[in-house]
Structure 1
Amino acid sequence: MCLTLKDVNHSNWRDVAALRVAEEQVPFIESNSYSIAQSMFEPNWKMVALYDGELLVGFAMYGVSKEDQSVWLDRFMIDVSFQGKGYAKRFVEIIINQIKKIYQCDELYLSVVMENNAAISLYEKVGFKFTGEIDDTEVIIGNVMKLELNNYNQ
């Protein structure tokens, strides 16, 4: 595997928009098309396409919350055709390290729907813990998880 993050831009945004999660995962995450539109009007969000070599396998969006300046991994998805192949954990680790470099922050947040057991398991494996807070700032309401980046050494 040669895993890289590339900006979502004029040459790949249609391919990113075409990525899909499994049918049972649809209620757990906003669509990539919605995320692309959101980032056009909220420039605090950075979109990245997840590649294995030249093969597009997923999408993520991260940035700084306008409300309180906290740093969030706001979207993360692997296309249904590539799920179960070891991409998720590796890409989450790459993205976390990228976020650490860019924002030089101590904490990273995300939100997850409680029924999304696979995502919760993934995030807990890399060190995220539930905060007890609810994120109701997006279309899909989720439970907040936080990663202490000072203790993160992947």
Structure 2
Amino acid sequence: MNIRPLAKQDLPHIYQQKNSRSVMALWFEEPFNSLDELTILYDRHVLDQSERRFVIEDDNQFVGVVELIDINTIHRHCEIQIIIDTKFQGQGLAQKGLRAGIEYAFSVLNLHKIYLYVDVENPAAIHIYQKFGFQEEGRLKKHYFAEGRYHDSLMMGLFANEFYQEK
């Protein structure tokens, strides 16, 4: 398993992932309407220094993405997101991709903290995040609307010194 920067040729894979209502509900987002829309967003954000998007590959196959967004170089924090294609779930690739994203944020970008939002009804993801040392920082009640209803979300955070202490 390795990660590499997202490239334009990866967009059909992203489009397929992001057009799954069940997958996007976990990210509290609407599916994209078209590949053209996704291409426009890619072109608009490719040079944005407040974001880093990586493809997770295994045996040269597209497995998913890990994203660092809202990178703040003054306060040295960012949000992390990860999506693993359903056919690759349950193989430990989410943990490997998450670890790679965390290590990039802390060791390359020199960030102090990484945070994320997760649906309180997603215990599998919460368990993975806790294994890496993410701790609950708060509960946001009815914060996201997905799949026809409002969802509570946990905000979880991880500090660089705590991540490296656990190794």
> How big is the shift at 1:104?
0.9
1:103 to 100, 109, 116: 109
Q: 1:63 to 1:26 in 2, by over 3 A?
A: closer
1:119 to 111, 118, 125: 125
TM-score (norm 1): 0.78
> How big is the shift at 1:24?
4.8
Per-residue CA distance 1:49-98 (angstroms, 9 max, x = gap): 110131110112103356x8452343211100000111111111111111
Asked if 1 retains the 8 angstrom alpha-carbon contact of 2:79 and 2:116, the reply is yes
Question: Which residue is 1:14 aligned to?
Answer: 12
Alignment of 1:76-91 (within 5 A): 76-91=82-97
1:129 maps onto 2:135 in alignment: yes
SS at match of 1:12: helix
Alignment of 1:43-58 (within 5 A): 43=48, 44-58=50-64
Larger radius of gyration: 2
Q: CA RMSD in A?
A: 3.4
Q: Relative to structure 2, which stretch is displaced further, 140-149 or 74-83? A: 140-149
Question: Which residue is 2:162 aligned to?
Answer: 151
Q: Percent identity?
A: 19
Q: Between Structure 1 and Structure 2, how many residues are aligned?
A: 151
How far apart are the structure 2 equivalents of 1:39 and 1:127? Answer: 34
How far apart are the structure 2 equivalents of 1:17 and 1:96? Answer: 24
Asked if 2 retains the 8 angstrom alpha-carbon contact of 1:6 and 1:50, the reply is yes
Alignment of 1:30-69 (within 5 A): 30=29, 33=32, 37=41, 40-41=44-45, 43=48, 44-65=50-71, 69=75
Structure 2 unpaired stretches of 5+: 147-151
How far apart are the structure 2 equivalents of 1:119 and 1:35? Answer: 26
Asked if 1 retains the 8 angstrom alpha-carbon contact of 2:24 and 2:31, the reply is no
